[in-house]
Amino acid sequence: MSAAELERRYRRLLAVHPWEHRRVYEEEMVAVLLAGARPGQTRPGLRDTVDLVGAGLRARLRVGARGFTEPAWADAAAVTGVLVALVLCAAAGRSVLDHLLVDPSLPPPLRAVAPDLVDWLRVAGWAAVAVTALAGLPRVAAGLAWAAVAGWAVLVGPGVVDQPAYVVDTLPQFALALVAAAALTVPAPPRRAPAVLGSRRLTALVAGPVVALVLLELNRVTSPLFEVAAGPTSYRSFYGLEARSELVIWLYVAGLAAAALAVVVAVATLAAPVRRRIAVLLVPVAALALVIDSALAGWSVSTVHMGHAIPLVPAQWLLLVLVPPVTFLAGVLLLRRREETLRMVALGRAADRERPAG
């Protein structure tokens, strides 16, 4: 009875190893472990436990690392790096235009000052990342992206103490920068992104953020004026969009939806393995933004109304740090399970076709 119990517990520890490894070596490993057990032993020793779990985790990491060398991951990383660089360039461009173009709805004391050097560097930097990635210079693009990540850490990171709200608000953009830098670091053939996308999809990826930027800035500089002397002013507002009529608001919404749809269609029409991996790379950023908008919504409102910084507790910072990597790992596991299921279904159908009728 003790031998059966010990064997069961050894097999439970061996479950840490990848399935392919267990299929070949499990019986041999169990036999060796049982042969070295003491008489009457019912539990694995500490040394055996540590050795088995450690070897299993190392084997799983090796298998996982080999999985990321698949061509589909390289293609997805190349496209994601370019896409994120274009989005961040558009976001940085909007910040610059917010400073350059006067918002007529604001009185002069509240109007923005001229953009500073950092604003211009953000635009130029992300534009350079996109151009060098498309031009077949992935190392240069990755280096520039990692420089942007380091720049955020140097310029924004210290605000964790006295400006936590600003730091949290910029975390999604920082996460996007991190995704772009990591994606462009993945080895891929030169000019892989243009080859995978083709001219039409690439045009859509470039045009989408540019059109969205133009529409948002056009709406901002044509916002209704609020002058007391002019009497009551009627206007419509929808998630930051403002206009004097509902029709104009819906025209803006339609334009922004078309710009977003062009990008979504460009990605959705890629090969299934590539678009699935692009989703896995981007979902962590969406999860982080969702946590900020939901779990930290009360904290954000309190910070604004209190008039001073309310520090986040360690558990909240831990949540913000862990959500992206946990989401990414969950996405990878779901992706592998999905593709393994599809592979088995395809094998079953092939076997059915080869089976003689009757």
The DSSP secondary structure of 43-71, one letter per residue, reads: S--HHHHHHHHHHHHHHHHHHHHHHTTSH
Q: Which residues of the chain have pLDDT under 50?
A: 228-229
For residue 230, the tally of other CB atoms under 10 A from its CB is: 8
- How far apart are alpha carbons 273 and 68 in whole angstroms? 12
Closest CA to 144 of 115, 123, 113: 123
Crossing angle of helices 314-354/164-185, nearest 10°?
A: 30
Residue 134 CA from chain centroid, whole number: 20
Is there a contact between 282 and 340 (Cβ–Cβ < 8 Å)? no
User: How confident is the model at residue 26, as a pLDDT?
Assistant: 82
User: How confident is the model at residue 100, as a pLDDT?
Assistant: 83
Residues listed for the chain:
358
Q: What are phi and psi of 181, to 5 degrees?
A: -65, -45
Is there a contact between 91 and 286 (Cβ–Cβ < 8 Å)? no
Alpha helical stretches, state H, 222-313? 246-268, 272-294, 297-306
User: How confident is the model at residue 66, as a pLDDT?
Assistant: 58
Q: Which two tokens stand for residue 163?
A: 């400006």
Closest CA to 104 of 213, 221, 228: 221
Q: Which two tokens stand for residue 313?
A: 């507790």
For residue 290, the tally of other CB atoms under 10 A from its CB is: 13
User: How confident is the model at residue 243, as a pLDDT?
Assistant: 82
User: How confident is the model at residue 267, as a pLDDT?
Assistant: 95
Beta bridge partners of 236: 243
User: How confident is the model at residue 104, as a pLDDT?
Assistant: 66
Q: Which two tokens stand for residue 346?
A: 């395809």
Q: Which two tokens stand for residue 278?
A: 């692009």
User: How confident is the model at residue 123, as a pLDDT?
Assistant: 94
User: How confident is the model at residue 6, as a pLDDT?
Assistant: 80
- How far apart are alpha carbons 255 and 314 in whole angstroms? 42
Query: Taking the model in full, what pTM does it have?
Result: 0.78
Q: What is the pLDDT of residues 300-350, one digit of tens each?
A: 777 766 666 677 888 888 989 999 999 998 998 898 888 888 888 877 777
Q: Which two tokens stand for residue 184?
A: 């462009």
- How far apart are alpha carbons 287 and 328 in whole angstroms? 10
